[in-house]
Amino acid sequence: MTEALFTPLTVGAIEARNRVVMAPLTRNRADNDSDEVGELHVDYYTQRAGAGIIITEATQISPEGKGYLATPGIYTDGQAAAWKKVTDAVHKAGGKIVVQLWHVGRISHTSLQPDGQAPVAPSAITANMKTFTAKGFEQTSDPRALNTEEISRVVQDYVHATKMAKKAGFDGVEVHGANGYLIDQFLKTKTNKRDDQYGGSVENRARLLLEVLEAVTQEWDGAHVGLRLSPFSPANDIADDDAQETFEYVIKQLNQFNLAYLHMVEGATGGSRELAEGENLAKLRDLFEGVYMANNGYDRALAIETVKSGKADLVAFGRPYIANPDLAERLERDAPLNEGNTDTYYGGDAKGYTDYPSLEDASVG
């Protein structure tokens, strides 16, 4: 009997061939001047078209949204045309692909910002983090707080990026609301000290996210829109005084948008799945009425059991997809996995990017 993990699923408007998802993975191989993807990206994503859904690497919605060297954008016609080569190739290979819409907020450096300006944030609080620039890893720059009247512009940047994603032939978009980036910075108390309608109460702190979702789902219906959240993750120097309360409110509000899915980082991003006292992931999961995508530290056995038990509808895998372009097939066949070369994770060329062997390559070899 085929395990549920390897069976098809309707995810909003997307017909996924299986429930194994390629999670977004920043690889820093875009052209740093144009923020466009290239032929390497076509090969990389097409190799991974066996996933039920591919979620692209985080992709900035505007020049202001950029926080790392050589990450791609989705706000110009040139970027959309470059991504169209990727989506066409993935579709030809039978795959589905959505683009993750990203604004880094304060996790940036002046050298990466237009005219060397300060990064923006809900409040002028510097992150105790480093980011990847032309000089290597550097301390993030001091941000400035967005003015209240600027926030509508940021929301429209998400809408424009969604228009460009449609033009680029994507199957949908994923709003990045996780991992200490701009939307998460507004949601959580450590980074949001505002005294206007976007700060203070949980209703106010959630306002930006909900305005973004309202606007994006008007541009492209909710069946084409996913959302990523990381309620309990400290990624990028972030925290909340009561994350359980915050995200119970947030997730209840999500149900009005009829989203394609909710993509949840369970625990600390790329780290422990353990939760602190008072953190109840199961309750958050149960509050969401749509398709639930689980992520963080899943192996084959845990993924199979989680989907089989109904605790998740889909499971997203990150790092295993770097070294295993045919991960879904390997998991279904219980085949051994390639080990990734961490030296080539960020930046570089085809080495450690498109040269990992598939099972078919191994059998021929």
Local structure of residue 6 (DSSP, 8 states): G
Write the burial class of residue 342 (CB in 10 Å: 0-12 exposed, 13-18 middle, 19+ buried).
exposed
In contact, 318 and 23? CB cutoff 8 Å: yes
Catalytic residue, from 68, 181, 292, 298: name it: 181
Q: Nearest 5°: phi and psi at 234? A: -90, 10
Helix (H) / strand (E) containing 209: helix 207-219
Helix (H) / strand (E) containing 56: strand 53-60
Supply 285's token pair.
Answer: 């999961």
Helix (H) / strand (E) containing 256: none
Helix (H) / strand (E) containing 138: strand 136-139
Please enumerate in sequence order all residues whose Cβ is within 8 A of that of 270, keeping only pairs 6 or more positions apart, or say none: 235, 296, 318, 319
Taken in order 314, 318, 322, 323, the sign of the CA dihedral is negative
Helix (H) / strand (E) containing 156: helix 151-167
Strands 314-317, 144-145: pairing kind = unpaired
User: How far is the C-alpha of 49 from the C-alpha of 86, rounded, in Å?
Assistant: 11
User: How far is the C-alpha of 126 from the C-alpha of 286, rounded, in Å?
Assistant: 35
In contact, 99 and 166? CB cutoff 8 Å: no
158 is catalytic: no
Active site residues: 181
